[in-house]
Chain A
């Protein structure tokens, strides 16, 4: 199984508050993991990817950070949310020799 668990499904947070979104994956060990953000009309924007524990690469400078404390855990965080952080956040893992990705069901974040 390559299931991905993301929570929460929906989140409403005030501007300036912290954020922590968690993603855990099943399946083969040492997967590549990804955080994407999807804003209205802007497609999928790759935010971070990780090829192993403690290894994080950032694709876009921003108000967010990511961590990978365990092989199958990927966390997206912010110390102080901005209105522009609103969007739909998706976690994904690679499928190994299958080359594609498996996606989680996403978190809808609204910053108010």
Chain B
């Protein structure tokens, strides 16, 4: 069965420090992968997506993610975190079907220390 695992529930980093959020997926075919961010009390905003091609994808707000098929991973990175990056981050995999569903991980909450 398809699944998405985000092993870190809560991460705290200092402003200006680097960030890596982990995501592992289980899916039999070539996955379509996404990262979303949710600011407190808001909906989800798409950061970036991977469909095919270059395994390092660039997104908005200075984020990037690397797809590693051998590790079934799609980790999100940012070299220097800003206070406004605080929020909850969700990894998701698209598994198709007539309903076009995404499967989401349980999310990683990011706190940023000044």
Interface residues of A (CB under 8 A from B): 4, 6, 32, 41-44, 46, 49, 51, 57, 88, 90, 92, 94, 98-106, 108
Contacts and interface: CB of A to CB of B under 8 A. Distances in A.
Contact of A103 (B32, B44, B107): B44
Contact of B43 (A42, A49, A90): A90
B51 to A, nearest CB: 7
Given A43-B107, A44-B90, A100-B34, A106 B41 contact: yes
Contacts of B32: 99
A103 B101 contact: no
Interface in B63-113: 90, 92, 94, 98-102, 104-107
Interface residues of B, number: 24
Contact of B99 (A41, A51, A108): A51
B99 A32 contact: yes
A43 B94 contact: no
B46 interface: yes
B30 interface: no
Contacts of A42: 106
A58 to B, nearest CB: 12
Contact of A100 (B9, B102, B105, B106): B102
A6 B44 CA distance: 13
Contacts of B49: 98-100
